[in-house]
Every structure is written in structure tokens, then in C-alpha cells.
Amino acid sequence: MRLGIDLGTTRTLVARVDRGNYPVVTFFDAEGDAHDHFPSVAAHHPERGLLFGFLALEAARTDDLRVIRSIKRRLAYPDVNTQTTMSIGGQPVPIVDVLAGFLTALRTAIIEQSSITDEFGADEDIETMIAVPAHAPGVQRYLTLEAFRRAGFDVLGVVNEPSAAGFEYTHRQPRTLNSKRTQVIIYDLGGGTFDSSLIRVDGTAHEVLDTAGNNRLGGDDFDVTLAQVALATIKRDPNTLDVRSFERLVDDSRSAKESINPQTRRLAIDVDGTYATVPVADFYAEAVSLVDRTVETMTPLIGGLDDQGQASLGDTEVAGIYLVGGASGLPLVARRLREQFGRRVHRSPYPAASTAIGLAIAADETAGFSLRDRLSRGFGVFREADDGQGISFDQIFDRTTVTGEDTFEVIRRYRPQHNIGWFRFVEYAHVDSHDLPTGDIVPFAELLFPYARELRGTDLTEVPVKRVGEGPMIEERYLIDPHGIVEVHVTDLNNNYTISRVLGENA
């Protein structure tokens, strides 16, 4: 069985490969009601332990438990590594275990309680394409892949979420593309993240030209904005609400937001027992700045601003801006984008399922789609210099490095001057005019390498970095595999003493 699985911040969607069709898999909850998604949530039950998906929502309702909604969001924090824990029922649990637990529950639900349950042979493997936000830190990429494998999925590949949605666009709307208009911009506004990609399309061959995104901007922010507008409408001081009441208000705001259609004028929102009647116009007046932030984020993809200081498609090769992600279902989003970009703005008929469908297309060998993706974030290393007094920076992979085809390799060879190599790997959005990283810098991993042979096998953390004159010939080898995972090997070439790291593994 081949699937595309879109692990979302709020919802996980699954699409199946079925003889050239890519239907979305339906899940059944405890009541037997059908849903086109599996909720990306967990809850800790004092007796039953960790519950996931519909079971978690159900238990949260009946036993008044807290719903843990932040698993994927937590993965994108700059400080995350394999040891990072989440507090669950007062106990620290490694986040990768929580994610693997969630994915195991998802796998069980696919096999036992979904629209494709009857089609599984005994012990049939699930082969799946998976995705991460285009601007996911490398650790998130690594932990996501690891958790899927631990949950028993056979992972065919990891692509960037908007790249997958690009497949869905060309599968559905091939006629919008022609010899003059060869590019499409995917605008993906999810629950927790905004991603955009500029993709060049030639038949079924896709090449990501550039990406831009914000890992901390999504539909959740619209919910909080609506909650604040509701509070203001009834002149209620937010500080008088406890955490649980505020969470309930945000949940209610989310449902109200999802119910908005272009004709909706007013929303009724339950604020801690009092109904607030919120004019949609009031909500839009506040929320429009969130939409404008997404436009600002993706402006570089369009090639900057025109004479009036506006981002415009003008005579670019862009055939369309394709709106995907559940949060782009809010009518304000398409309206605001059309004000700016006109008729080349298209909404996906299945905004929330576009990525999953694209992943299923990518998993289907017979569809013949190919992808040249980009790393999206630069990767480099700070090292000690000048007797441990200074540091120097070396960019290893820039953000436009192509991934998704073969393993890509960079090699550096030199004779070090110091006793120890102290490598501090980072990822970043950009480099400045001095080739130093700027913007959203994420420390990735550290590696200490004893250049001086007498130090090998000792604890280097206590040894000061000193200049000691020319050392042995050293080789640094950096590899990015087709999934975008970076590996480093530092070797003393005279005797092959090597330290290796899969970055993300032991950050």
C-alpha cells in the first residue's frame, strides 16, 4: 500500500495511491463518524496513559483532560534535539517518543479504522512519502523521519510541504501552465506554519527555484486574534480569564472562524459563558495584518516590489498563486491576495488535503513526477581561530542547494593550527554582505575533534583550545542525502581516525 501522509500541526491527512487516483483516506472516530483527517493531538490519561487522535479528543471531553496540540510546533523550536522532552502528566517524555507514539496510533487507525481498512493484506507494508515545512530546521526533518520509521512506516522520501502541493496543482490544473507561464507559487497557510515556494514546471518535472516561509505564523494566530476581538467586543479584560477558559475561548474561536463563508456577517462566540456577537468585519480588520505578513514573506519569490512599492506578478512567468493549507480557506485570504495579484490567484478545491494528495502523487512511480528541491536553509560551521580567541565562519551548503536527487557532497582539507577543532554547526535563513549568517539562526550541533593525537580518547570539554602549530592533514566531508539529512565526517587522513555525526541525531 502506498500513501502520502501530511503530518500537520492540527490535522494529519492521508491520501492513497489508487491506479492514477489519489483519494483522501477517511478515518472513523469512536462513534463511527467519518472524518477526512486524523487529529494531530495527544492527551495524557491518568490510568490509560498517552492517547492520540480521536481517542485523545474523546477522553479530553469525557474526563476533562488537557489536549496536547503542540507536538509539531514544538519540533520547530531552535533548541530541539533527540533528548528534548515534553512534560506529559508531570513526567518528561522525549518529544521523538511522543511523535512516534502518535504515528503508531495513526498507523493503527489507517489499518483498523479507515476507509482503506478492508484493502490491507495480512502484514502488508505501508510505504509512504512524508513532508516537513520547507523551512523546517534540520533537526525537525531528522526527528520526523526517525519517528515515522519507529512507528513502522516504510518511508519512501521526505519532501518539503509546498513542493508536494505543487504536484497536486499541476496534476489538477495543467492547462494554466504554458510556454510563457512556466512557474507557480504555492501559498501554504497551515495551522502553525506559512510556507511559500516558487516552482518551475515542465510537464511532470518540477524544480523548486526558491522558498520563503515563517515557521511561527498560521491559522492558530487567526484564532487568537478572533478570541481577542471577542473579548474586546464584550469589553472583557483578558487577564480575568484563567488558562483553561482562554484555551476554550480559542477553540470556540477556531470553530467560528472555520464556519465563515463570504456571506457571513456575524459570529457568536462563547467567552467563558457569555456570548459575544462579533462582526466579521471587526475580525477581518485585525486579521488582515496576518495576511499581509504572509504576502510580505513571499514577496522575494515574485522578484521584489514594483514602482508603487507593491508586490505584483506583472509580466513574470508566474502562471498562478495556488492557495493551499486549511487556513487559506478563510475568505479574507483569497480576497486580500486577489486585491493585490488579481486573477492569477487560485484556491485549491481541497486546501487542507493538497499536500497529502501531492505526496501520494510523489509516491506513485507510474505518475512519473520528478522533483528538484532546495535545502531552503543555509548550513555552515563556526570554528575556533586565533588561539581560541576568535571564531571564523564557513558556509558549507547554501540555501539553494539542490536536494531530492542524489547524495550531495562537500569536502574540505587542511592542516589545522590548533590542538582541538571545535565545530559549531548552524542553520540560517541568509548570509549578510560579509558572508556571515543572519536571520533565524539555529544552532544545530557541536563536535569536538582532537587534532592533536595525544588528546584522542580524552574528555575534550575540559581542554582549552590552543594554537600548537601545523597538525595532521584533516578532511571534513559533508553529505546531504536525498531526504535532506546532513551527515559530517571529520578524519585525520594519516591514520583514518574519524568522528562522524548525523546532524540532528545528537545535537
Q: Which residues bind ligand ATP (CB under 6 A)?
A: 8-11, 72, 190-193, 218-220, 254, 257-258, 325-327, 329-330, 352
User: Could you say which of Mg ion, ligand ATP, none residue 99 binds, taking C-beta under 5 to 8 angstroms by partner kind?
Assistant: none
* Residue 176 C-beta: closest distance to Mg ion, Å: 23
Question: Is the CB of residue 318 less than 8 Å from the CB of residue 174?
Answer: no
Least Å distance, CB 206 to Mg ion, is: 18
If contact means CB under 5 to 8 A according to the sort of partner, which of ligand ATP, Mg ion, none does residue 475 touch?
none
Q: Which of Mg ion, ligand ATP, none does residue 326 bind (CB under 5 to 8 Å by kind)?
A: ligand ATP
Q: Which long-range contacts (CB under 8 A, 24 or more apart) does 397-402 make?
A: 397/478, 397/480, 397/486, 398/431, 399/374, 399/375, 399/429, 399/430, 400/210, 400/374, 400/375, 401/374, 401/375, 401/480, 402/372, 402/373, 402/374, 402/375
Which of the listed partners (Mg ion, ligand ATP, none) does 218 bind, with a CB threshold of 5 to 8 Å by partner kind?
ligand ATP
- The reply on whether position 8 binds Mg ion by CB under 5 A is yes
Instruction: Confirm if 50 and 94 have CB atoms less than 8 A apart.
Output: no
Based on DSSP, count helices (H) and strands (E) in the chain, helices before strands. 10, 31
CB of 426 to ligand ATP, least distance (A): 24
Decide whether 255 or 500 has the Cβ nearer to ligand ATP: 255
SS (H, E, C) 246-313: HHHHHHHHHHHHHCCCCCCCEEEEEECCEEEEEEHHHHHHHHHHHHHHHHHHHHHHHCCECCCCCECC
CA–CA gap between residue 490 and residue 473 (Å, rounded) = 11
Kindly tell me which of 324 and 371 has the beta carbon lying closer to ligand ATP: 324
The one of Mg ion, ligand ATP, none whose footprint includes residue 138, by CB under 5 to 8 A per kind, is none
Nearer to Mg ion, 233 or 294 (CB): 294
Phi/psi of residue 134, nearest 5 degrees:
-55, -30
* By CB under 5 A, residue 437 contacts Mg ion: no
Kindly tell me the burial class for residue 279, based on how many C-beta atoms sit within 10 Å of its own C-beta (0-12, 13-18, 19 or more): middle
Q: Smaller CB distance to Mg ion: residue 6 or 146?
A: 6
Q: How far is the CB of 340 from ligand ATP (least distance, A)?
A: 20
Sign of CA dihedral 98, 104, 107, 111: negative
| Residue 176 CB-half CA count within 13 A | 21
Residue 71 CB, shortest distance to ligand ATP, in Å, is 10
Q: Does 471 bind Mg ion (CB under 5 A)?
A: no
Pick between residue 218 and residue 380 the one whose CB is nearest to ligand ATP: 218
Residue 125 contacts residue 170 (beta carbons within 8 Å): no
Q: How far from chain centre, in Å, is Cα 200?
A: 21
Integer Cα distance of 473 and 413 in angstroms? 7
Q: How far is the CB of 310 from ligand ATP (least distance, A)?
A: 26
| CA pair distance 461, 155, nearest whole angstrom | 37
Residue 405 φ/ψ, nearest 5 degrees: -105, -95
Closer to Mg ion by CB, 348 or 419: give it: 348
* Closest to ligand ATP by CB, 137 or 326: 326
CB atoms under 10 Å from CB of 29, counted, come to 17
The partner in contact with residue 219, picked from Mg ion, ligand ATP, none with C-beta cut-offs of 5 to 8 angstroms by kind, is ligand ATP
CB-nearer residue toward ligand ATP: 114 or 144: 144
Residue 253 sits at φ, ψ, to 5 deg, of: -65, -40
Q: Considering CB distances under 5 to 8 angstroms, the limit depending on partner class, which of ligand ATP, Mg ion, none binds residue 258?
A: ligand ATP
Which listed option, Mg ion, ligand ATP, none, makes contact with residue 504 (CB within 5 to 8 Å by class)? none
Stretch of 27-35, 182-190, 202-210, 491-499 contacting Mg ion, by CB under 5 A: 182-190
Residue 10 binds: one of ligand ATP, Mg ion, none (C-beta under 5 to 8 A by kind): ligand ATP
Query: What sign for the dihedral angle of Cα 345, 350, 352, 354?
Result: negative
Q: Which is nearer to Mg ion, 214 or 491 (CB)?
A: 214
Q: Which residue is closest to Mg ion by CB?
A: 190
* Closest CB to ligand ATP: residue number: 219
- Binding partner at 352 among Mg ion, ligand ATP, none, C-beta below 5 to 8 Å by kind: ligand ATP
The correct pick among 4, 39, 138, 190 for binding Mg ion (CB under 5 A) is 190
Alpha-carbon distance of 36 to 72, in angstroms, equals 19
Cα–Cα distance, 280 to 283 (Å, whole number): 5
Toward Mg ion, which CB reaches closer, 60 or 352? 352
Residue 190 or 437: which CB sits closer to Mg ion? Answer: 190
Q: Which does 193 bind (CB under 5 to 8 A by kind): ligand ATP, Mg ion, none?
A: ligand ATP
| Binding site residues, Mg ion, CB under 5 A | 8, 190
